[in-house]
C-alpha cells in the first residue's frame, strides 16, 4: 500500500477515535463512570423514587458539580444558581417540560423560549402580584376557604384529621375560584361536594409516579400504551403493563378545567367584564384578541394554573402542620401561638392575610418548612445554545444542566444541621427576620428564581400564612404517628423526612384539640 494511503488511513483512524472537544469537556466533570455512560443508571434511581436523593449523595462525594448522565450535569452552588436561573441567563427550559402541556398547547410553565414566556407572563402577572393578592377581594377569597377548612375540621373531624386529603380540598377550592371564579369552575370540596372531591382522586393515587417515570424515559411507548382502548386496554392492564390504571393523573381535573373554560366562554359580556380583574380566565379573555391567543391557548394556560396550585400548596401546608405537631417541636408550636395571640381578627376569628406578612415567627415557620420539605424538590433542567462556563467547568452547548431545591437546601455550609426543623435559623438575635441579602435567603429556592420564578408565590404564601394562623389560634395539634413521616409524590420521586424510621405515602394523621 502506498505511503500516502497509509497516512490517510492513519488520519481517519485518529479522527474516529480521538475524543471530540465536547466529549473531552464533559469528561473533565467529576462523577461515577456508569452515570456518565448511560442515562439509565439515573433512571434506575428514579424507578426506585430516589433519583434526587442519589444525586444529593453524589454531590456530597464529588462536590458542587457532578455528571449524572451522558449529557446531564447537576450543580449545587449559589454561583451556579445565578448563572443558570438568574435574570438575563441564556439557559432555557428543555423539552422535558413539554410533558406538562395541556390539550396539546404550551403554556407559561412549558414554554422553552424566554421571549414567549415573558410575553405570556405580562398578560397575567398583575393578578398574581403581592399587592393584588393582599387586596380586599382576594384576601376575602382566601379567608373564605380557610373558614371552610376550619368548618370541615369541626363538621367532619375524621376526614379533616387526615390532612393530606383535606388540605388538597382546601387548595383545590382556593385555586379553582382564583382561576375561574366561583360561578364557572370553582369547586366545593371543603363543603362536601362528592363531585369536587372525586376530581382529585387521581392526584391522591401514588401510582402516578410510575406513569411519570414512563413518560420521561419511554415517551413513545407511554403515548402508545396509554391511548389503547377496549379489549387491548383491558388486556394490557390485566398484564400489569399499564403504567397507571385510568383515570390517569390530572385527567379528571383537566376535563373539569376544559368544561369550566367552555362555560366561561358562553358567559355574558357583563360577567366576562366583571371577571377581567378577579380571575385568570377573565383576564385572558379580555386580552385574547390583542395577544393573539387561541381558545386552546387560554384553556391550556388556565388548566396549568389550576393544576399547579393544588399539590404545591397542600403538600407544603401538610408538612408545616406535621412538623409543628411533633413532640420535639412543642415549643415551636407554643411560640407560634403566642405570636398569633397578639394579632387582630374579624368576627370569624380570621386574620387579614396582609397583617400576617409582618409576623416574624410565622414567616420563619413557613420558610423553614419550605426549605426542608420543598413542594417541588426535584431537578429543574435547563440548556444553553452556546458553550458556557459554570463554576469553572466548560459546559458544551446543548448539555442539560440543572439544580434541585432538595440538594441546595441541604447545603450544610449555609444551613447547619440541615435536616433539623429549626425556624429560628431565619431570625436575627432580636427576633426579626434575617435580611434578604443573607446567604440563607439567597440560597432559598422553594419558588425557583429569576424570570421563571413561580408566578403563584404570593397567592400560595397568603393561603399558607392565613390557614396556619387560623388553625393555631384555635387548636393545639399533635401527630398521631410521630415516628412516621408523610411522603409526597413529586414527578417520579417520593419526598419525606429522612430522619424518621417510617414513611407512609400520601397520608398524614393529626389530632386537633380545641384550645380552652
pLDDT over threshold 90, residue 208? no
Distance of alpha carbon 131 from alpha carbon 354, whole angstroms: 9
Query: Residue 224: its pLDDT value, please?
Result: 78
| CA nearest to 199, candidates 146, 148, 247 | 247
Mean pLDDT across the chain, nearest whole number? 91
Q: Over the Cα atoms of the chain, what is R_g?
A: 25
Annotated domain spans of the chain: 1-90+385-409
pLDDT-based confidence at residue 87 (cuts at 50, 70, 90):
confident
Distance of alpha carbon 59 from alpha carbon 448, whole angstroms: 20
Note the pLDDT tens digit of each residue in 433-488.
999 999 999 999 999 888 888 999 999 999 999 999 999 999 999 999 999 999 99
Give the mean pLDDT of 132-159: 96
Query: Residue 20: its pLDDT value, please?
Result: 67
Distance of alpha carbon 128 from alpha carbon 25, whole angstroms: 42
Query: Residue 250: its pLDDT value, please?
Result: 66
pLDDT over threshold 50, residue 16? no
For 507, residues 6+ apart whose C-beta sits below 8 A from its C-beta are 162, 164, 486
Note the pLDDT tens digit of each residue in 110-144.
888 888 989 999 999 999 999 999 999 999 999 99
Give the mean pLDDT of 300-321: 95
Per-residue H/E/C for 226-250: CCCCHHHHHHHHHCCCCCCCCCCCC
454 in a known ligand binding site: yes
Query: Residue 392: its pLDDT value, please?
Result: 94
Note the pLDDT tens digit of each residue in 348-367.
889 999 999 999 999 999 99
Amino acid at each position: 500500500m502506498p505511503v500516502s494511503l497509509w497516512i490517510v488511513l492513519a488520519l481517519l483512524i485518529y479522527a474516529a477515535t480521538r475524543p471530540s472537544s465536547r466529549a473531552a469537556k464533559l469528561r473533565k466533570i467529576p462523577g461515577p463512570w456508569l452515570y456518565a455512560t448511560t442515562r439509565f443508571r439515573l433512571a434506575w434511581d428514579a424507578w426506585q423514587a430516589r433519583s434526587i436523593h442519589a444525586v444529593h449523595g453524589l454531590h456530597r462525594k464529588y462536590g458542587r458539580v457532578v455528571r449524572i448522565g451522558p449529557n446531564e450535569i447537576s450543580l449545587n452552588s449559589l454561583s451556579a444558581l445565578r448563572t443558570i436561573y438568574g435574570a438575563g441567563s441564556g439557559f432555557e427550559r428543555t423539552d422535558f417540560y413539554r410533558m406538562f402541556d395541556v390539550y396539546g398547547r404550551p403554556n407559561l410553565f412549558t414554554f422553552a423560549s424566554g421571549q414567549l414566556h415573558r410575553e405570556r407572563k405580562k398578560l397575567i402577572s398583575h393578578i398574581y402580584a403581592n399587592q393584588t393578592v393582599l387586596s380586599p377581594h382576594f384576601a376575602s377569597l382566601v379567608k373564605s376557604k380557610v373558614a371552610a377548612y376550619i368548618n370541615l375540621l369541626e363538621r367532619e373531624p375524621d376526614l379533616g384529621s387526615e390532612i393530606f386529603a383535606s388540605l388538597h380540598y382546601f387548595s383545590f377550592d382556593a385555586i379553582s375560584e382564583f382561576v375561574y371564579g366561583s360561578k364557572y369552575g370553582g369547586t366545593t370540596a371543603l363543603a362536601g361536594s362528592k363531585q369536587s372531591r372525586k376530581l382529585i382522586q387521581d392526584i391522591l393515587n401514588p401510582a402516578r409516579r410510575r406513569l411519570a417515570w414512563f413518560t420521561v424515559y419511554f415517551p413513545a411507548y407511554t403515548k402508545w400504551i396509554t391511548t389503547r382502548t377496549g379489549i387491548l386496554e383491558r388486556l394490557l392492564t390485566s398484564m400489569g403493563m399499564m403504567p397507571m390504571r385510568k383515570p390517569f393523573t390530572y385527567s379528571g381535573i383537566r376535563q373539569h378545567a376544559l368544561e369550566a373554560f367552555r362555560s366561561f366562554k358562553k358567559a355574558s359580556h357583563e360577567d366576562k367584564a366583571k371577571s377581567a380583574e378577579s380571575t385568570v380566565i377573565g383576564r385572558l379573555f379580555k386580552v385574547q384578541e390583542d395577544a393573539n391567543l387561541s381558545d386552546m391557548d387560554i384553556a391550556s394556560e388556565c388548566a396549568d394554573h389550576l393544576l399547579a396550585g393544588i399539590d404545591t400548596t397542600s403538600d407544603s401546608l401538610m408538612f408545616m402542620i406535621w412538623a409543628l405537631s411533633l413532640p420535639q417541636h412543642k415549643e415551636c408550636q407554643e411560640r407560634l401561638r403566642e405570636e398569633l395571640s397578639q394579632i387582630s381578627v374579624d368576627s370569624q376569628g380570621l386574620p387579614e392575610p396582609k397583617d400576617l406578612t409582618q409576623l416574624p415567627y410565622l414567616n420563619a415557620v413557613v420558610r423553614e418548612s419550605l426549605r426542608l420539605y420543598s413542594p417541588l424538590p426535584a431537578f429543574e433542567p435547563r440548556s444553553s445554545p452556546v458553550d458556557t462556563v459554570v463554576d469553572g467547568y466548560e459546559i458544551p452547548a446543548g448539555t442539560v444542566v440543572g439544580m434541585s431545591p432538595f440538594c441546595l437546601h441541604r447545603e450544610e455550609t449555609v444551613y447547619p444541621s440541615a435536616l433539623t426543623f429549626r425556624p429560628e435559623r431565619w431570625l436575627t438575635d432580636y427576633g426579626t427576620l434575617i435580611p434578604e441579602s443573607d446567604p440563607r435567603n439567597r440560597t432559598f429556592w422553594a419558588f425557583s428564581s429569576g424570570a421563571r420564578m413561580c408566578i403563584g408565590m404570593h397567592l400560595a404564601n397568603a393561603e399558607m400564612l392565613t390557614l396556619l394562623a387560623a388553625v393555631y389560634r384555635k387548636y393545639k395539634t399533635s401527630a398521631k404517628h410521630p415516628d412516621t413521616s408523610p411522603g409526597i409524590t413529586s414527578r417520579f420521586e417520593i419526598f419525606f423526612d429522612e430522619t424518621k424510621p417510617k414513611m407512609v405515602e400520601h397520608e398524614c394523621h393529626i389530632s386537633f384539640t380545641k384550645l380552652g
